[in-house]
């Protein structure tokens, strides 16, 4: 696994400034924070709305991979390391998409909001013109689709016990 040179301190939007390459998505879901947290942190549920996690846990320092289908110019997996996990409100991890690549940072913040949950998502740390293009043309649209369509479908089909409802059409994406 690639060495992830991760900043283990939680940076905030205000303290590190903003970049035109940062991806930010805010979504409100009509489900309690505990259910949204489960969908973000339980590997069987994570695989239903995003890439397949291997070795994931919410323990700080855990190194894990997200695996998908390799594409031209991409090896088919992302190496990550959990930097912060505060159930059910914050999950933050370093993300390295390419061998020897620079880490970027994914953060999910959950808060109760009008009978449900507000999810504030950030993927930050993209640099240069290549990072700008990656964030704006590939990663940003992908995150928006996953958080706007795929994750809500999982939340709607998961029962309170954390299992998919009988007859659910959802299957792991990879």
Consecutive 10-residue runs of the chain (174 residues): their mean pLDDT? 46 55 97 96 96 98 96 92 98 93 96 96 95 93 96 94 90 89
> How many CB atoms are closer than 10 A to CB 129?
8
Question: Is the pTM of the predicted complex or chain greater than 0.85?
Answer: yes
Strands annotated E in the chain? 23-29, 52-54, 63-67, 77-86, 90-96, 104-113, 116-124
Class of residue 136 by CB neighbours under 10 A (exposed 0-12, middle 13-18, buried 19+): middle
List all residues 6 or more positions away from 36 whose beta carbon is below 8 Å from its beta carbon: 29, 88, 110, 117, 119, 155
φ, ψ at 136 (rounded to 5°): -80, -35
98 three-class SS: coil
Say if residues 69 and 174 touch (Cβ distance below 8 Å): yes
pLDDT of residue 112: 97
Question: What pLDDT digit, counting tens, does each position of 3-53 carry?
Answer: 454 444 334 444 455 688 999 999 999 999 999 999 999 999 999 999 999
Q: Choose the CATH number for 21-157 among 3.40.920.10, 3.30.530.20, 3.40.50.1100, 2.60.120.10.
A: 3.30.530.20
Cis peptide before 152 (omega within 30 of 0): no
pLDDT of residue 48: 96
pLDDT of residue 8: 40
Residues 89, 120: Cα–Cα separation, whole Å: 10
């Amino acid at each position: 696994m690639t060495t992830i040179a991760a900043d283990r301190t939680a940076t905030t939007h205000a303290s590190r400034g903003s970049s035109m390459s940062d991806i930010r998505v805010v979504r409100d879901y009509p489900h309690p924070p505990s259910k949204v947290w489960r969908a973000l942190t339980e590997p069987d549920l994570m695989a239903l709305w995003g890439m397949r996690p291997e070795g994931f846990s919410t323990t700080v320092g855990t190194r894990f991979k997200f695996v998908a289908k390799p594409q031209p110019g991409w090896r088919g997996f992302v190496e990550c390391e959990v930097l912060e996990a505060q159930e059910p409100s914050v999950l933050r991890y370093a993300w390295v998409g390419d061998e020897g690549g620079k880490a970027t940072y994914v953060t999910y913040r959950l808060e109760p909001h009008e009978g449900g949950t507000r999810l504030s998502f950030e993927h930050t740390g993209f640099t240069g013109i290549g990072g700008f293009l990656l964030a704006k043309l590939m990663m940003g649209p992908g995150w928006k689709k996953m958080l706007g369509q795929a994750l809500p479908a999982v939340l709607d089909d998961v029962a309170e016990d954390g299992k998919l409802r009988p007859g659910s059409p959802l299957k792991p994406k990879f």
